[in-house]
Amino acid sequence: MNNRKLQALRNLAERPGTESEGKLAREILDRLERKLPEDDSEATRWFWFEKYLRTRDMSDLEKACSFPNYCDCGASYRTPKCENLTLHSKIRSQTVELFPKGTRIYYNRWAYEPNSPGIVMGYPRDAERLWNWMRIKFYSLKSARNVPVYSRSGYHVSIEPVNRPELQK
Ligand SMILES: [Zn+2]
């Protein structure tokens, strides 16, 4: 993330020239903060925001904001959050079925060592918000923690170690 651009966006959100400018800037900030690590829509947002900084054309700012977000369930959405609740709860049940409490698993996601071994301790109670999360006790850590286990690219947990963890970012 480019700090200078981010600062420009924050400045605009806090001290907008017009009301709609501020509203759009806050929406873009919010979307960027909630983005997925693999979400390619971030680059597109920055592209339009940078263009806006040069042109000061409100339609460029609108484009930066209207580009859809991608939910971990795979759906794209323009609403503040994904409304695909049926799919979320289906994935949640499937997760519980595939990886019941006590299952030995390997976890693969960016920021973690490839094939981090652990054991399934449960699933966060806030099923609506954390529908794709799991509570895992990693062997390398003292206490259990909640981590996301499903995204657009599929599961980040498996029963067997995976060969090419770099593909499961
Ligand atoms: Zn979704």
- Structure confidence by residue, pLDDT tens digits, 144-164: 999 999 988 899 999 999 986
How does residue 124 score in pLDDT terms, banded at 50, 70 and 90?
Answer: very high
Q: Give 26 Cα–ligand 1 centroid separation in angstroms.
A: 22
**Cβ-contact 86, 75 below 8 angstroms:** no
Q: Are residues 55 and 98 in the same domain?
A: no
CA atoms within 13 A on the CB side of 126: 6
For residues 89 and 163, membership in a common domain is answered with yes
Please give the distance of CA 149 from its chain centroid, rounded to a whole number.
11
Do 100 and 156 fall into the same domain?
yes
Ligand 1 center–CA 81 separation, angstroms: 8
Q: What is the mean pLDDT of residues 114-135?
A: 95
- pLDDT of residue 135 exceeding 60: yes
Instruction: Please state the rounded mean pLDDT for residues 111-137.
Output: 94
Q: pLDDT digits over 36-59, tens only?
A: 555 567 778 888 899 999 999 988
Q: Average pLDDT over the chain, rounded to whole?
A: 87
Assign 166 a pLDDT band (cuts: 50, 70, 90). Answer: low
Q: Domain for residue 73, yes or no? A: no
- Residues 90, 150: one domain? yes
47: tokens are: 């592209």
Specify if 76 maps to a domain. Answer: no
3-state helix, strand and coil shares in percent for the chain, rounded to the nearest 5: 40, 20, 40
Considering the domain architecture, whether residues 92 and 56 belong to the same structural domain is answered as no
What separation in Å is there between the alpha carbon of 124 and the centre of ligand 1?
17
Helix H segments across 15-147?
Answer: 19-33, 41-55, 58-66, 85-98
Q: What confidence score (pLDDT) does residue 40 get?
A: 63
* Ligand 1 centre distance from Cα of residue 140 (Å): 31
What pLDDT shows up at residue 168? 47
Stronger pLDDT, 65 or 165, i.e. the higher one: 65
Q: Check whether residue 107 and residue 53 sit in a common domain.
A: no
Indicate whether 102 and 61 sit together in one domain: no
Beta sheet of 116-122, edge-to-edge order: 145-148, 133-138, 116-122, 104-107, 157-158
**Tally of structural domains, the chain:** 2
Shared-domain flag, residues 99 and 40: no
What's the pLDDT score for residue 169? 47
Do 158 and 91 belong together in one domain?
A: yes
Q: Are residues 62 and 89 in the same domain?
A: no
User: How far, in Å, is the centroid of ligand 1 from the Cα of 36?
Assistant: 12
**Are 47 and 94 part of one and the same domain?**
no
Give the domain range for residue 19: 3-67
Q: 112 alpha carbon to ligand 1 midpoint, in Å?
A: 24
Tokens describing residue 43 = 């680059």
Mean pLDDT of 107-111: 84
How high is the pLDDT of residue 86? 96
- Residue range 92-99: mean pLDDT, rounded: 97
CATH number of the domain where residue 131 is located: 2.30.30.140
Q: Do 90 and 163 lie in a common domain?
A: yes
